[in-house]
Structure 1
Amino acid sequence: MKLMDEEMSSGHLERTTLPYKNSSDRFVLTNHAAENEPTCYRRQFASLYNVRLSAFTGSLTAAAEKKFKGKVPFSTLTDLKKEEKCYIIGVIVKQQKLRPSVLLELADEAGAQPQPVAGTRIALETDYLELEDDNQIVRLGGKINTDDFVTGVVVAVMGKELDNDTFEVEEIVYPPMATPAPSSPIQLQGDAFVLFVSGLSFTGKDGEDGNVLLSLLMMQRWLCGELATDREELEMISKISRIIVAGESIARSSEDREFSEKARYLTRKETSPSVECVRNVDQFLMHFAPLITIDLMPGLGDPTNHMLPQQPMHKCMFPKASKCAHMLNLVTNPYQAEIGGRTLLGTSGQNLSDMLRLCSERRTALDILESNLIWQHLCPNAPDTTDIFPFKFSDPFMITGTPPDIYFAGNQKQLEHRIMERPDGGKTLLLSVPSFKNTSTAAIVNLRTLEVFAQDFVVGEVE
């Protein structure tokens, strides 16, 4: 007991370190991605869908032939014949009346026509699915649930075209998951943990940021072991090898727009709210980086490009924390890494939040995360309703290779998790990381067992 007290009072723990590899190269925008063309942002997105369709066609064909045992022929949409059973391959298009539309928004601004008011979810019973290939499109019916899909998913469907020009679906085939290599065992001798946090959402206003800063101070003291109640908790804290900050460290706000629209002479003695926000993030990183390795992902509102994949924030924004450069990793969003033999893949949550909006209340965050792995794509709804870089010859958001052991998304309403049993017999932890500003909750994952623990840092009111 005396030794525990000494360790706790010293504020220093000998922390577990694990083998680490950043595997996010495909999310880094290079000259090759832009093809050295200053006009790359003028591209149309049709080529991206074609790339996605071409990439999945081979594996879908093999999976369909295996499933139907060669008894059902393949057909293009152009060659469909009425009432003849076959399977077709294409990209799902989800037709929704309340789907966001730039044209409708412009018309609304001009007063030409009203824009339907959409709530948190925009799914309606009148929504329907279509399947599109390189040349044609057909409406889908039968045994296919509209609520289970978003635009951009590539599938094979077996059935027949009816006289009303609808393809009656009998079975659906998804791209098969890759089988993990047998030579990749988990290199963990015992328990080891990673702490996930997202949505610090600094506003630059002392009144609004105060609770977040106090909760982070409590987290810092807890990671130092000062708030541990017994030796078991202290030992667990010492085995937390790193923190993953899953985006939205800076709140999305219109304050900067108001600041920028003022006359210059009115703001010469003012500081932009975003400057104070970044300063608060720097303070947070400066206090945590000496204690534990941090992977900082960008998200909506953070100072980097808006379109996915978001590039790492520049170290010059964090002058104090950058002094601990070896403990601070500025990474992309999406982000993939190997930690202790486990593969982690995740986003700051833009893709998940948008896909939830396109589905009914029946679909939960974990349902969408599981669907992403089944679809083999992080955000098939891009570029339809999620902004992404206009890739022409590749689609980095496809999940090709070994399935991740942990698939996470940040900035959600609450902490949720479950284990997905994969067809290869493996398991993937699906993790919805809550907004820290709204919940003061961090998620702790045991890399050995994939167990999840919620750690609350709620600051009580001072009497």
Structure 2
Amino acid sequence: MVSTEVDSEKNLLHRKQSLYQSLDESFGIQKEVYRGQQYSQIYFARLHLMRTLLYSIIPNWKPHLPVCTVLGLEEGKECIIVGTLYKHMKLKPSILDEYSKERSASPLIQRHNFMHLDDNLVLEDESGRVKLSGCLLPSTYVTGNIIALHGKETSAGEFLVEDALEAGLPQQIERPIQLGEDKYVVFISGLSVGRSSSNPLQFQLLVDHITGHLGDEKEQNIAAQIVQVVIAGNSVEVPHGLLNGQNLGSKDQSRLFEPIKELDILLTQIAASIPLDIMPGSSDPANFSLPQQPLHRCLFPGSSAYNTFRSCTNPHCFELDNIRFLGTSGQNIDDLGKYSEANNNIDFMERTLRWRHLAPTAPNTLGCYPFTDRDPFYIETCPHVYFVGNRDKYESRLIKGSEGQMVMLICIPRFAETGVAVVVSLYCFNQLSPQHV
């Protein structure tokens, strides 16, 4: 923690401070050893973990029904089965489609959603798999969901679903009582520094605003209460023509590094005043598969000189004054949007919380590291704030759990396109607001 000051015409404002704790350890892969393992092990770890959880809450849901395996189903006998969902999708891309696209004179049409009316669900456990029918909507679920189902086997060999049980919101640590003045966290996403259409002045105005160099005395008082800035992915955008796998000349190397250099200059101004977390995104110079590892500090020689600068993983989890934040740069929600349907991004976010899993489509359609004995995307503790970056527009929703949990869901819009950052109050979630620059 660094004590910083903000100038005002009448007095000298001292920036508020907060107690920060990083909880990104579970998303690190430095201690993992790749031995050619396949992805079946992460599915097994997920099933084992979440089935144990579902078994513990089934007695409160349907205490009169027996729990069976897929192999143990009997025709016409009502029971509960627990397993992993697999969704058969007619339009799901395959490597054969990619091959035919290369061979064809007319390229395949690029789709943004692969849902089809003929899609159907299958539930699988260690003993076998069974096709599902009944009330479970294929449009809501994706491959990788762990769920408990109440129903019975039909004469056609299908399992007729009558009811479904999801894991629900996990337990939540109690929110601290507000002591003294409020504190704020600023969320930014999709800076896209280096894009031809981006406006450097827009980000510079935001930097000046949150560091207290713009605005009247009232605005500077608010700026002095900002205790954390989080940048949620896609901070730079390099020219795609340069990324062709060929050796680059000195001129092209300079063009490639220019957006990162420009970003570092801006981040240095923030880190000199406020603690700053930066997460990698799909367009940033980081590993592609989740969990993305922190951007290397050598990319930021200016900002990394400050101990307020933290390069973090994606997903990112941390606590400020015992208030827990959990978020991603948006790849998990983008992938859900391709293989399921919802009214908006907030609905997708709420589903992942109630499924207790950040990225259920990984590793099927969303790239992830092949973990062998754990699933880091399992949500063990309910956050107070759940954020997702690189959205089309700002959205928020306060949801409540059956045990009194309260979670603020936030969609952070792309700053380069909207000029919007999101300011969150640590103690009063109803004071959450988008700030236009």
Structure-2-length-normalised TM-score: 0.93
Partner of 2:235: 249
CA deviation vs aligned residue, 1:189-230 (integer Å, no higher than 9, x gap)? 331110000111122x6x534x1x101111122123343245
2: CA distance between counterparts of 1:224 and 1:391?
Answer: 41
CA deviation vs aligned residue, 1:395-433 (integer Å, no higher than 9, x gap)? 010001x20000111001011000011111121000110
Residue 53 (structure 1) aligned to one of 33, 47, 69? 47
What is the DSSP-based 3-state SS (H/G/I as helix, E as strand, rest coil) of the residue aligned with 1:261?
Answer: coil
Q: How does 1:15-414 map to 2 (within 5 A)?
A: 15-31=15-31, 33-34=32-33, 37=34, 40=35, 42-69=36-63, 71-111=64-104, 117-181=109-173, 185-186=176-177, 188-203=179-194, 207-209=196-198, 211=199, 213-229=200-216, 231=218, 233-251=219-237, 253-258=239-244, 260-261=245-246, 267-324=249-306, 326-360=307-341, 362-400=342-380, 402-414=381-393
The unaligned stretches of length 5 or more in structure 1 are 1-5, 458-463
2: CA distance between counterparts of 1:301 and 1:198?
Answer: 12
The unaligned stretches of length 5 or more in structure 2 are 1-5
CA deviation vs aligned residue, 1:300-342 (integer Å, no higher than 9, x gap)? 1211211111111111111111222x11011111000001221
1: CA distance between counterparts of 2:211 and 2:287?
Answer: 34
Partner of 2:3: none
Amino acid at match of 1:327: T
Q: Is the 8 A contact 1:188 1:448 kept in 2?
A: no
2: CA distance between counterparts of 1:116 and 1:422?
Answer: 44
Moved more, 351-360 or 438-447: 351-360
- Give the RMSD, CA atoms, in angstroms: 2.2
What is the DSSP-based 3-state SS (H/G/I as helix, E as strand, rest coil) of the residue aligned with 1:125?
Answer: coil
2: CA distance between counterparts of 1:200 and 1:319?
Answer: 19
Partner of 1:3: none
Q: Is the 8 A contact 2:130 2:158 kept in 1?
A: yes
2: CA distance between counterparts of 1:11 and 1:125?
Answer: 65
2:422 maps to 1:443: yes
1:11 Cα deviation from its structure 2 partner: 12
1:133 Cα deviation from its structure 2 partner: 0.9
Q: Is the 8 A contact 1:74 1:88 kept in 2?
A: yes
1:169 Cα deviation from its structure 2 partner: 0.7
2: CA distance between counterparts of 1:453 and 1:289?
Answer: 23
Amino acid at match of 1:22: S
1:114 Cα deviation from its structure 2 partner: 8.8
1:116 Cα deviation from its structure 2 partner: 5.8
Amino acid at match of 1:72: L
Q: Is the 8 A contact 1:190 1:448 kept in 2?
A: no
Amino acid at match of 1:423: S
Q: Is the 8 A contact 1:13 1:224 kept in 2?
A: no
2:44 maps to 1:7: no
Q: Is the 8 A contact 2:82 2:149 kept in 1?
A: yes
2: CA distance between counterparts of 1:288 and 1:12?
Answer: 19
Q: Is the 8 A contact 2:27 2:376 kept in 1?
A: yes
2: CA distance between counterparts of 1:224 and 1:169?
Answer: 55
Q: Is the 8 A contact 1:220 1:287 kept in 2?
A: yes
Q: Is the 8 A contact 2:329 2:390 kept in 1?
A: yes
What is the DSSP-based 3-state SS (H/G/I as helix, E as strand, rest coil) of the residue aligned with 2:197?
Answer: helix
Q: Judging changes above 3 Å, is the alpha-carbon distance between structure 1 residues 146 and 239 closer, same or farther for their aligned structure 2 residues?
A: same
Q: Is the 8 A contact 1:13 1:225 kept in 2?
A: no
Q: Is the 8 A contact 1:187 1:340 kept in 2?
A: no
1: CA distance between counterparts of 2:12 and 2:46?
Answer: 49
2: CA distance between counterparts of 1:8 and 1:429?
Answer: 33
What is the DSSP-based 3-state SS (H/G/I as helix, E as strand, rest coil) of the residue aligned with 1:251?
Answer: coil
Structure-1-length-normalised TM-score: 0.88
2: CA distance between counterparts of 1:116 and 1:186?
Answer: 56
Q: Is the 8 A contact 1:11 1:224 kept in 2?
A: no
2: CA distance between counterparts of 1:352 and 1:317?
Answer: 28
2: CA distance between counterparts of 1:129 and 1:252?
Answer: 40
1: CA distance between counterparts of 2:340 and 2:92?
Answer: 11
1: CA distance between counterparts of 2:409 and 2:164?
Answer: 23
Q: Judging changes above 3 Å, is the alpha-carbon distance between structure 1 residues 268 and 444 closer, same or farther for their aligned structure 2 residues?
A: closer
1: CA distance between counterparts of 2:119 and 2:239?
Answer: 32
Amino acid at match of 1:370: E
2: CA distance between counterparts of 1:441 and 1:194?
Answer: 14
1: CA distance between counterparts of 2:60 and 2:324?
Answer: 29
Identity of aligned residues (%): 30
What is the DSSP-based 3-state SS (H/G/I as helix, E as strand, rest coil) of the residue aligned with 2:186?
Answer: strand
2: CA distance between counterparts of 1:313 and 1:164?
Answer: 53
2: CA distance between counterparts of 1:272 and 1:224?
Answer: 30
CA deviation vs aligned residue, 1:251-290 (integer Å, no higher than 9, x gap)? 26522224x437x6xx344335331121111111112111
